[in-house]
Structure 1
Amino acid sequence: MNKYGKRNLGFGLSVVVGVVVTAMLLVPASDIPGPHIEGLDKVIHFAMFFLLVLPALTFAPSSWVWVVPLAIFHGGMIEIIQPYFGRGMEFGDFVANTLGVCTAIPISRAIHRRWLKPR
């Protein structure tokens, strides 16, 4: 696969994850099954936004200049519109989203250098 195919694969995976993340974060809180564990939602927000940007940043490392701000903006907008979907707006969730995005930057670079960069 050439570099454009890899780049498109990374962006495509990030778009798919983005659609899933958006849908999951707009499900009304009353429809979410399971026990409520304090702080678990922050871990979930972190993981979702980490996984959102990881494919794009891994397959197209230079895209961080627009992928990272766009993902952080997306995380903020999700928090702003969640109250319209029966969810709460929490600054802590936005922080977890942002930390997930920022954590993906060095990890994606390491993955790219180790396994994807031509030698």
Structure 2
Amino acid sequence: MEPLQRSRLWWGLGYLLIAFIVVVSLVPAPDLPDLGIDWLDKLLHFAAYLVLMLWFVQINPPDRYGFWMRMFIKMGLALEIVQGMIGYRMFDLWDMGANVLGVLAGWGLGRAGVNRILVKVEEVWLR
């Protein structure tokens, strides 16, 4: 894996992404528009955790993917449990499943070689 030239930036943005997901998971839920998609909430959960894991496969060597996969699965499970405890959000096993599937999809994409996006961004940016 090629080292990133702006790794501190990418790590900082990754931690902001984690913070964003934590905050959005714990503030009162917004009213989602009715787009005729019954599972829109689950798609959003899946997409958030897919992006999160895919981000971290960009900034880590492959031998660290498993660590981040386990951490993000635990984070998704813990946030769902906390949502069930805070009163204005609710615990949902389907959300939990969507979080886990998103992490696994990001991990799988990283293992399949989709782990050079930020390298390409830097190549264009730093020309």
Normalised to the residue count of structure 2, the TM-score between the two structures is 0.75
Q: What's the C-alpha RMSD, in Å, of the aligned pairs? A: 2.6
Structure-2 separation of matches of 1:10 and 1:97: 22
Structure-2 separation of matches of 1:7 and 1:26: 29
Structure-2 separation of matches of 1:20 and 1:114: 21
Aligned partners of 2:69 and 2:103 also within 8 Å: yes
1:112 aligns with 115
Distance 1:114 1:18, change over 3 A: closer
Task: Provide structure 2 residue ranges, at least 5 long, that are not aligned to the other structure.
Answer: 121-127
- Report the Cα offset of residue 116 of structure 1: 4.1
- Report the Cα offset of residue 46 of structure 1: 0.3
1:82 aligns with 83
- Report the Cα offset of residue 35 of structure 1: 3.0
Structure-2 separation of matches of 1:115 and 1:33: 31
Task: Provide structure 1 residue ranges, at least 5 long, that are not aligned to the other structure.
Answer: none
67-76 vs 81-90, which moves further = 81-90
Deviations 1:22-77 (CA, angstroms, capped at 9, x unpaired): 11111213x43533842111000000111112121122132212111110000001
Instruction: Note if 1:28 corresponds to 2:31.
Output: no
Aligned partners of 2:54 and 2:115 also within 8 Å: no
Aligned partners of 1:68 and 1:101 also within 8 Å: yes
Q: Secondary structure at the match of 1:112?
A: coil
Distance 1:85 1:6, change over 3 A: farther
Structure-1 separation of matches of 2:95 and 2:47: 11
4-13 vs 90-99, which moves further = 4-13
1:65 aligns with 66
Q: Secondary structure at the match of 1:34?
A: coil
1:42 aligns with 42
Q: Percent identity?
A: 28
